[in-house]
Amino acid sequence: MKRLPVYLSICVLSLSLAAAASAGTWGGHNGDIRLTFTEGPEYEHFKQSKPLPKAGVILDLYAVLSGVDQVLFHDEKYMSVGGWELQLQVDGAEWEIMELELPDDSINAGTAKGYMYVGKYSGVKFVDGDAKLARWRIRLLGDPKNVTFSLNPGGLNSCITTDGCPGSGTQALWTGSGAAGLIGVLFSAGYIPAYLNWEDDPPELAAVHGKGEWSDTGLFTKD
């Protein structure tokens, strides 16, 4: 990941994270984060993978924001994602993150395993309605079976300080870009899980998200 000068890093981080957290406007649900073993445009949520000797299973997992309705806020269209908060959770195996790849010129203030508090001033553009937020390279120890990759809403610091978010069941948060002046509104995102080495019939693939759509807020118009 390309590094920014310190003064610009602070600026981007404060714009995309601190400002949104302290003075955020609740935008309701808009989109879901796909946890997928492929970066698209075809997404793979189920995978079978044999362990390597002494290494376990090593795989790439992507976080892609998709299914976002194109809306206008004060006549400005959301063309990109300028900041996001999420916490990756893995159940069914011991795991570690070997590598985290983020879009160029983005800043991640998350230090604990799986946490992301990311800002990118110019934003990650939507391509065919999707925005690729991250790629993890993950190692799962031993011979893992029935592993689920999901998001843990407990990692959303900005939800606590944004009226409308607590109790909404949001699983992740995202905002527009600072360059477009759209960082003040926080949208809720759900997630679509991923499954590794499922031995029985795989679970039904369905999005997990909270209540309250963007259309309920009265803040936006559909593009």
Reported as a single tens digit per residue, the pLDDT across 10-59 is 334 434 443 444 458 999 999 999 999 999 889 999 999 999 998 999 99
Give the rounded percent of residues in the chain with a pLDDT score beyond 70. 90
pLDDT category, 7, cuts 50, 70, 90? very low
How many beta carbons lie within 10 A of that of residue 173, not counting itself?
27
User: Does residue 191 contact residue 208 with C-beta atoms inside 8 Å?
Assistant: yes
Query: Any idea what DSSP says for residue 50?
Result: P
Owner of token pair 């999901």: 150
Task: Report which residue type is found at 22.
Answer: S
Say what the pLDDT of residue 14 is. 38
Contact (CB, 8 A) for 121 and 80 = no
CA atoms within 13 A on the CB side of 147: 25
What are the residues whose beta carbons fall under 8 Å from the beta carbon of 137, sequence distance 6 or more?
58, 59, 60, 97, 98, 99, 100, 101
- DSSP H stretches of helix in 71-132: none
Segment 83-141, tens digit of pLDDT = 999 999 999 999 999 999 999 999 999 999 999 999 999 999 999 999 999 999 999 99
What pLDDT, on a 0 to 100 scale, did the predictor assign at position 200? 86
* Tokens, residue 215: 């259309």
CA triple 133-108-99, angle to 5 deg: 70
**Prediction pTM value:** 0.90
